[in-house]
Amino acid sequence: MVTASAPGKVYLFGEHAVVYGEPAIPCAVERRATVTVEERTDGRLRVDAQDLEIEGFTVEYGTVDGDPGVEVPTELLEAATEYVDGAVEQARDAAGAPGAGFDVAVESDIPLGAGLGSSAAVVVATIAAAAAELGVTLDPREVADRAYRVELEVQNGQASRADTFCSAMGGAVRVEGDDCRTLDAPDLPFVIGYDGGSGNTGELVARVRSLREEYGFAADTVAAIGDVVRAGESVLGGDGDEASLAELGRLMDFDHGLLEALGVSSRSLDEMVWAAREAGAHGAKLTGAGGAGCIVALDETPETETALSYSKSCEQAFRAELAREGVVVS
């Protein structure tokens, strides 16, 4: 039996634009998905998902007819199994064991679909744990690459390497197309607000794609997000003093405005962003695909967390430390 965990993430800058080859800077945060894997001899796969911010259930299925033999809504079944299926296939491939079966238990304190990289963390942890259970230790970069292949397949070719690379490596990372690298970054005072909802990543990515193809100024907006990322990267290399935090926050505000112009924000996200800013945060923006879910703010004081906790749009507010470690196998 092997257990692995992987962190979620927030986007400091660059979501949506990263799909078109612009750079992005996600940062791993200490909210983790934990996956425990045990090999079984009958070739079947049993997925036990009891803590994914959805109603927990257990599914067992195999290679005979593909029928899971349970009565649950299709979208719920897919939420629990599609990413895990792909991750298990990657682990089997890495170990040269195509017929291996597993019991897989998934726990997570990362809300699903909220912009914190829940699917990436589950995929990364599952690949690392299942491969290790088969006797193969994978380098974090290989885990990241294999996890990206899973997300690319599940998300119909619209995924970027950002989420999976960040989850596997930890810390702050820079992703531009296939160029993925880690960054030196100070501990950043992240405050996260969660509205209790989730956005549909596929629909939101498609919406931006449609706008970008129809309007030249929408394409310019996507490119401008890339410019914000490049400006932010130069600031991030500092020591995290008040001046650099203020500049990072200002750039986060710019980024949110550009994402809002692309139509991926929402009333609840905007209200949380403004609550954070009015509380004195250096900056605040949505994180992830948008539509609903989470915002991230920079504030070393307790004021933003307090303000968000009183906001009608915010279901949960919490601090999140930068996760220096990525995927961890135990």
pLDDT at 29: 96
Show the tokens assigned to 313. 């749009």
Residues 238 and 311 in one domain: yes
Mean pLDDT of 272-279: 98
Shared-domain flag, residues 42 and 73 = yes
Indicate whether 202 belongs to any domain. yes
Compute the CA torsion angle 135, 141, 142, 148 (nearest 10 deg): 130
Catalytic residue list contains 163 = yes
CATH number at residue 157: 3.30.230.10
Q: Are residue 148 and residue 249 in the same domain, yes or no?
A: no
Residue 175 shares a structural domain with residue 250: no
Do 245 and 161 lie in one domain? The reply is no
The yes-or-no verdict on residue 52 having pLDDT over 90 is no
Q: Give the residue from 134, 165, 183 where a domain finishes.
A: 183
What integer pLDDT is reported at residue 156 of this predicted model?
77
- Tokens 């992005």, located at residue: 24
Q: What is the mean pLDDT of residues 55-63?
A: 41
**Residue 253 and residue 263 in contact, taking contact as beta carbons nearer than 8 Å:** no
| Residue pair 312/134 in contact by the 8 Å Cβ criterion | no
* End-to-end Cα spacing for the chain: 9
41 and 102 assigned to the same domain: yes
**Which two tokens mark 322?**
């930068």
Catalytic residue, candidates 85, 103, 145, 163:
163
Task: Looking at the structure, tell me whether residues 197 and 165 fall in a common domain.
Answer: no
Domain stop point among 183, 203, 224: 183
Phi, psi of 316 (to 5 degrees): -150, 135
Phi, psi for residue 294 in degrees, rounded to 5:
-125, 155
| 325 falls within a domain | no
What does the pLDDT look like over 127-143, one tens digit per residue? 999 999 999 999 999 99
Helix (H, G, I), strand (E, B) or coil at 118: helix
Average pLDDT score over residue span 252-256: 98
Assigned domain for 117 exists: yes
Which of 143, 165, 183 terminates a domain? The answer is: 183
- Overall domain count for the chain: 2
3-state secondary structure of 142: helix
CB contact set of 326 (below 8 Å; sequence gap of 6+): 6, 7, 28, 124, 140, 166, 167, 168, 169, 170, 171
Domain match, 99 and 224 both: no
Where residue 295 sits, what CATH number does that domain have?
3.30.70.890
- pLDDT, residue 78, reads 58
Of the two residues 17 and 48, the one the predictor is more confident about is 17
Confidence band, pLDDT 50/70/90 cuts, at residue 200: confident
DSSP state of 42: T
> What's the whole-number mean pLDDT along residues 174-179?
94
For residue 155, being part of any structural domain is answered with yes
Helix (H, G, I), strand (E, B) or coil at 101: strand
Provide the Cα torsion 233, 188, 117, 210; round to 10°.
-40
Find the length of the chain: 330
Distance between CA atoms of residues 16 and 22, nearest Å? 9
Range 131-158 burial, b when 16+ CB lie within 10 A, else e: bbbbeeebebebbbbbbbbbbbebeeee
Residue 29 is part of which domain span?
A: 2-183
CA distance 30 to 278: 26
